[in-house]
Amino acid sequence: MPFIGNQPALSYTSFAKQDFTTSATTSYTLNNPVANENEIALFINFVRQEPTTAYTASGTTLTLTSATSASDDMYCVFLGKAVQTVNPPNNSVSNAMLSETITVANGGTGLTSGFKNGITEVDQWRLTADLTADANPISADLERNDSTGFGKIGTGMSVSSGIWTFPSTGLWKIEAFFTGIIASGDAQIIGYIRTYINSSPTDVTQAFIGSSGDYDSAMTSFLYNVTNTSTHQLTFRVSSIASGGVIRGNTGANETHFNFIRLGDSV
């Protein structure tokens, strides 16, 4: 017949178990009342006992045919008492039962590490010394942030001769923050994010620093669909630095710096 009202939540069933502290006795108390001994499975030293022959039960009273000793291991499973809940029992759900892989971040225990399609990599690097001339790419004086309190997720980026390599494929958000001083009478300094796919370079974003004679900063970002870590790489570059201009670097704080965030799987 049709169901009237809200559909009940799905229930999960597991059987209640009771462990006993044994001693030299034949009498024990059950946590849950039963009609007879056939409603429990009793195990002594991991061997299942035969109902009626090895034990009887009624209500909360369990009576053994032979007394146990203090060194025995004894427990029972209540076959007549199923515990229902709208939540699955602990440790009962595996990755194969889910449409998405649920994991524990930072290498924790449980299922796998991090959410599938979720953030499994976050890294941050910075320029540690000033640049006073154009750089294509920015290849020197780079370090991962080491300030107090800094943290990253995953393996992190690697860089060699200014070419950045990704630890895994995915959709990556790249953020570049350029801080500098324009030379007097100059128009601007331009910072770029440049992608390399199969060694073919493309300037995908630009950031313009344009306040002459004073500190200024500019930020740009790009969503990079990295489908192959061997062919998809990245550089940062700056141009139009006139005499007296500078791109600021600092080993103790972020001035010119770069963020790398893996947002999810490749698309």
Tell me the CA distances in angstroms from 5 to 2, 11, 87, 106, one per residue in order: 10, 17, 21, 43
CB atoms within 10 A of CB 265: 15
Tell me the CA distances in angstroms from 80 to 106, 137, 204, one per residue in order: 42, 72, 67
Q: How far apart are CA 151 and CA 124, in angstroms?
A: 9
Q: How far apart are CA 267 and CA 264, in angstroms?
A: 9
Q: Which of 193, 170, 163 is nearest to 121 (CA)?
A: 170
Express each pLDDT in 166-210 by its tens digit.
Answer: 999 999 999 999 999 888 777 788 889 899 888 899 999 999 987
Helix/strand/coil for 106: helix
Express each pLDDT in 233-258 by its tens digit.
Answer: 999 999 999 888 999 999 999 999 99
Residue entry with tokens 């203090």: 70
Q: How far apart are CA 260 and CA 173, in angstroms?
A: 6
Structure tokens at 252: 């103790």
pLDDT given for residue 111 in this prediction: 45
Q: Which of 156, 163, 160 is nearest to 136 (CA)?
A: 163
Counting every residue written for the chain, the total comes to 267
Tell me the CA distances in angstroms from 147 to 123, 155, 233, 254, one per residue in order: 13, 18, 26, 9
Q: Which residue would you say has higher pLDDT here, 13 or 106?
A: 13
Q: For the domain 121-264, what is the CATH code?
A: 2.60.120.40
Express each pLDDT in 36-65 by its tens digit.
Answer: 999 999 999 999 999 999 999 999 999 999
Across the chain, mean pLDDT equals 86
pLDDT given for residue 55 in this prediction: 97
Residue entry with tokens 């502290």: 21
Tell me the CA distances in angstroms from 221 to 7, 34, 186, 191, 204, one per residue in order: 47, 67, 25, 11, 9
Q: Identify the sign of the CA torsion 226, 229, 232, 237.
A: positive
Which regions of the chain carry the CATH code 2.60.120.40?
Answer: 121-264
Q: How far apart are CA 180 and CA 189, in angstroms?
A: 8
> What order of strands is seen across the sheet that includes strand 74-85?
12-20, 74-85, 40-44, 47-48
Backbone Cα Rg of the chain = 33
Q: How far apart are CA 138 and CA 162, in angstroms?
A: 5
